[in-house]
Structure 1
Amino acid sequence: MPKAKHKTSRQRARQENKGGRMDDEFFEANIVVIGAGGAGSNTINRISTYKLPKLKLIAINTDNKHLKLMADGVQRVLIGREITKGLGAGGDPEIAMKAAEISKPLIAQAIGDANLVFIVAGMGGGTGTGAAPIIARIAKESGTVVVAFVTYPFKLERVRLKKALIWIEKLQKEVDTIIILDNNKLLEYVPGLPINDAFRVADEIVARAIGGIAATILTPSLVNLDYADVRSIMENGGIGMISVGDGKGIDKVAAVTESTRKNKLLDIDMTGAKNILVHITGGTDLTIADSNDVVAGVTKGVDNQANVIMGARIDPSFCDKIETIAIYTKLQHKPILAGAEMDKPKEEDIYYHPPPNLLR
């Protein structure tokens, strides 16, 4: 079983130079989280409630009305003003892609000198689907590590499924790691919830994952992560999977371990993962020993040579409770996605084409 690497809250400050080395002082991670389109922007609003002052949040959209709903402190970027007039992409990823391409200077300026960029988007719609690959490309051109968190449509949404399959493939080519959260697996995790509530759960899971990682990098924690840790997991990570769990009471360690192994949000064999990041949140009673036991259970059966990183932080509101999010990257098998068995469609056969005046 691989042994988790971790640092205490006295972690070293590091500096990355052009050769990729980390020096012992002056380095500070510059983390940017971008929500592309409506779904991604909703997640950004949720992350904003974490109140992490050093975390830069950006909402990028073709819909100006939706941008006006963003929380205070979120940077708003309207793209493709010339072609969409701020009215959205009409569900067409091609229009969103063009909007992002012509707004490249705005996007690059917003990203700035980030060294870690998270992009959040829903796949199968318009703006998030089409703009995310361009946003990722712009970020990569600056030399940063780029990680995409995307949601995959329900199996009954056939047109959205087809679009998602095409554009996930495009996005994967532009990022270091793409972490797919399959809404169909989400319904297995929360089977009794109405669909709208399930969407909010998806937002919360992604927000917890990104916000938790950022918090353990940017603020003192029980077990800190640093930029080098996250980079080692996410750089060239390919397709990634997220798994979530929680446990309460005297057997909370066993319970959180079991639920995390069960609640995979992508249908894929996790045992072949080469990189694993386990983020743990607990109350004031959370110990290093408990954290190590959780990591050992969550990573049971994976490659002994896997790179396992642990981060843990205390939330005083957690009373006798532990929550875990595990991210597996460099998976050795392809995910099983609803709709993948269908013949791959031509792009022009599945896109909604908006009225001509939308393109003027």
Structure 2
Amino acid sequence: MNRRQFNQTLVALGAIATLPALAYPRDVAAIPELEPAERMIRIGLVSVGGADGNTVATIAQGLSYVTRTIAIDTDSDALISAGADRTVLIGRGIDKPQHPRQAFEMARRQAHDIEAAIGDLDLVFIVAGMYGAAGKGVAPVVADVARRKRITTLGIAITPAEWQGAQSSPRVRYAVQEFQRAGVTVFPINSHHMTMPLGHGGRGVSQNVKSLFASVSHAIRQHNIVGIDLNDLQLVLNPGGIAAMGFGSADGAGRAENATQQAIAHPLLGTKRLRTATGVLVNIRGKAAGLMLGEFKTVARAIRSYLPFDSGCLYSTSVDDSIGDKLIVGILASVPAAANLAMI
């Protein structure tokens, strides 16, 4: 079922009132048909400067639709252990930069190497550790190369918790802003918000990156009941802006409501950010035989009740038989930078 047919079904059932005006206009017939994709979208997962102890191979483990993993760093030893499909060494590996500007200039001189690694991809996720000079300085160059190649790009900025060094460090905030200026939608993940045992915070970071990747890739790559394309993604997730994310899962009676409330209450989202969102992408995943229109309506109503009236919103429903009887809800929201400062 394509999006126009799905909307017509919702209109017939009286459900269109629960959906956002910008995403689903009253004149449903005016929504253009989506042309079938001529080829599968190629998705890359890129790590820059470390990811809170996670290698790109660790993050990619268990994920579907990863076309290529790429590790980019100024540390040759880190690249050896990265387990990536491709690696890009910035500099000689022995002259590690001490300042982000130095790393930035080194990366600019090797922009052609970065382009060779990512240039044939359609969508890239850049996971940048904002701990040292490499992540802060190299990530904006990678993002700029992707922008010039017209590659849709989502950035994940992993920022240090207070005990790891100045949660509100001006240098970290500046680095995230430079990442944004390269035209990337940036999802900040601060280790402070990961409720994992001491020494295992990296697992929380990894799981959230996995959930973000899964929500987007399932919505775009799979044969969905209701899917989205890269233009939709850029429409609701403002390039150059800050975004928040939340995920939830539940089974049994009331699973749609329970999974949605979990996603809304997620430490990387919350009602405060959702109430200020300018654009939202929602992905709903479940077993093929178990997805019900009533559950879709429950999810849509719950999320819409928190959103500003004029915010744009897109919904995607995809089949995932690997999750059993669970329903998984992912919410990605573009928010004003001021509403997300606590995440940096």
Aligned residues: 315
What is the aligned partner in structure 1 of residue 172 from structure 2? 164
Specify the SS of the correspondent of 1:156: helix
Q: Give structure 2 stretches of 5+ with no counterpart.
A: 1-17, 25-31
Displacement after TM superposition at 1:161 (Å): 4.5
What does residue range 196-345 of structure 1 map to in structure 2 within 5 Å? 196-236=199-239, 238-265=241-268, 269-284=273-288, 285-331=290-336, 333-337=338-342
Among 173, 178, 190, which residue is 1:182 paired with? 190
What is the aligned partner in structure 1 of residue 41 from structure 2? 29
The question of 1:119 aligning with 2:126 is answered yes
- Of 293-302 and 98-107, more deviation after overlay is shown by 293-302
Specify the SS of the correspondent of 2:329: strand
Displacement after TM superposition at 1:160 (Å): 6.5
- Of 195-204 and 325-334, more deviation after overlay is shown by 325-334
CA–CA distance in structure 2, aligned partners of residues 330 and 68 of structure 1: 37
- Aligned sequence identity (%): 23
What is the aligned partner in structure 2 of residue 358 from structure 1? none
Q: TM-score, normalised by structure 1?
A: 0.77
Which one-letter code corresponds to 1:38 in the other structure? G
Which one-letter code corresponds to 1:306 in the other structure? S
CA–CA distance in structure 1, aligned partners of residues 64 and 252 of structure 2: 29
Question: What do the CA deviations read for 1:119-143 (whole angstroms, capped 9, x no partner)?
Answer: 1112232322221111111221223
Contact 1:61 1:88 in 2 (8 A): no
Q: Give the root-mean-square deviation of aligned CA atoms.
A: 2.9
- Of 41-50 and 323-332, more deviation after overlay is shown by 41-50
Which one-letter code corresponds to 1:29 in the other structure? I
Question: What do the CA deviations read for 1:150-169 (whole angstroms, capped 9, x no partner)?
Answer: 12221233346423122112
CA–CA distance in structure 1, aligned partners of residues 200 and 278 of structure 2: 33
CA–CA distance in structure 2, aligned partners of residues 299 and 182 of structure 1: 27
Displacement after TM superposition at 1:235 (Å): 4.1
Contact 2:160 2:166 in 1 (8 A): no
* Alignment CA distance shift 1:171-1:51 (3 Å): closer
Displacement after TM superposition at 1:202 (Å): 1.4
Which one-letter code corresponds to 1:175 in the other structure? G
Contact 1:36 1:120 in 2 (8 A): yes
Q: Give structure 1 stretches of 5+ with no counterpart.
A: 6-10, 15-23, 341-360
Which one-letter code corresponds to 1:153 in the other structure? P
What does residue range 73-84 of structure 1 map to in structure 2 within 5 Å? 74-81=85-92, 84=93
Q: TM-score, normalised by structure 2?
A: 0.80
